[in-house]
Amino acid sequence: MFRRLRRARILRQRLLAPEHWSSLLEEHPILAGFSPEEQGRLRELSTLFLHEKTFELRGGQELDAYLRAVIAVQACLPVLNLGLDWYRNWRTVVVVPDVFTQELREQDEAGVVHEWEEEQSGESWDQGPVVLSWQDVEASGWGDGYNVVIHEAAHKLDLLDGQFNGRPQLHQGVSAAEWYEGFSGAYEDFRKRAGRKRRGKRLRIDDYAAENDAEFFAVGCEYFFEQPGVLKGEYPQVYRLLAAFFRQDPAARLKK
Ligand SMILES: [Zn+2]
């Protein structure tokens, strides 16, 4: 009850400014085609997101209110028909200026520790913050299939049940078996195609999706919201399952 009152007060007093809101819609083609009612809810969710999540800026990155809203609106797009509580497993958005390097360590069976560095544009881990590179945020939302905000948000939705496996908590009406069947078939097919890619065949979906089940889900979510027609054409079953999970049909909304 308390949270409901608090949220109502924030929406009354701090709703995203109209000029900011119209620029957000104009600058992000993936937000096209919403009804006025849906737009209103997305604006409210984004406002609440800005108040309930903490932004931590690192490496000299600066973000004014508008640029924070650029992140908020794209993070809220997937949960438009689910609600902000689906992001209850994290609080902080860390923003760094550019692609960052992650130091990885792993001990092999012989006990030897391997260390290597990997470049990251975003990162999510259980209970931890979402880390985003601003350069990649700026490249998101254009309708070309790439969206670091949606990618990392998808990992958080996946992690909500404590497991990083490309399967979020499902609603009634979609069984785990149905999900597994639809996703694993598509994933195996994609892996094979990605493996053959070097022989010159171009893939329409980023081959990072071939990394593992969780990345296949996260990249699938990027395409679901950025280029729904591509995902629907390549893997209609995955599109249908994501539409049931997100309770949205971006292919119909964006007509592409
Ligand atoms: Zn990922």
In this structure, what token pair is assigned to residue 96? Answer: 């760094």
CATH class of 165-256: alpha beta
- List every span in the chain annotated with CATH 1.10.472.150: 1-161
| Position 110 confidence tier, pLDDT thresholds 50, 70, 90 | confident
Residues lying with their CB under 5 A of ligand 1, a single-atom ion: 215, 218
What is the model's pLDDT at position 116?
63
| Position 201 confidence tier, pLDDT thresholds 50, 70, 90 | low
Compute the distance from residue 109 Cα to the ligand 1 centre, in Å.
26
Compute the distance from residue 208 Cα to the ligand 1 centre, in Å.
8
pLDDT, greater one: 121 or 251: 251
Compute the distance from residue 4 Cα to the ligand 1 centre, in Å.
33
What is the model's pLDDT at position 140?
97
Q: Which amino acid is at 48?
A: L
- List every span in the chain annotated with CATH 3.40.390.10: 165-256
In Å, the largest CA–CA distance within the chain is 61
Compute the distance from residue 119 Cα to the ligand 1 centre, in Å.
12
Compute the distance from residue 21 Cα to the ligand 1 centre, in Å.
28
What is the model's pLDDT at position 4?
87
Compute the distance from residue 11 Cα to the ligand 1 centre, in Å.
32
User: CA quadruple 154, 155, 159, 165: dihedral positive or negative?
Assistant: positive
**Is pLDDT of 106 > 80?**
no
Compute the distance from residue 111 Cα to the ligand 1 centre, in Å.
28
Alpha helices in the chain, H assignment, sequence order: 2-14, 18-27, 36-52, 65-76, 134-138, 148-159, 176-196, 213-226, 228-234, 236-246, 250-254
Comparing CA positions, the residue from 196, 234, 198, 202 lying closest to residue 216 is: 234
What is the model's pLDDT at position 120?
74
What is the model's pLDDT at position 198?
64
| Position 48 confidence tier, pLDDT thresholds 50, 70, 90 | very high
Q: Which amino acid is at 61?
A: Q
Comparing CA positions, the residue from 194, 197, 206, 198 lying closest to residue 231 is: 206
| Position 42 confidence tier, pLDDT thresholds 50, 70, 90 | very high
What is the model's pLDDT at position 60?
87
Average per-residue pLDDT in the chain?
91
Compute the distance from residue 171 Cα to the ligand 1 centre, in Å.
23
Percent of residues, the chain, with pLDDT higher than 90: 77
Compute the distance from residue 196 Cα to the ligand 1 centre, in Å.
22
pTM score of the predicted model: 0.90
Compute the distance from residue 231 Cα to the ligand 1 centre, in Å.
18
What is the model's pLDDT at position 107?
67
pLDDT, greater one: 2 or 47: 47
CATH numeric code, 1-161 = 1.10.472.150
**Tens-place pLDDT, residues 111-167:** 776 666 667 777 776 678 999 999 999 999 999 999 999 999 999 999 999 899 999
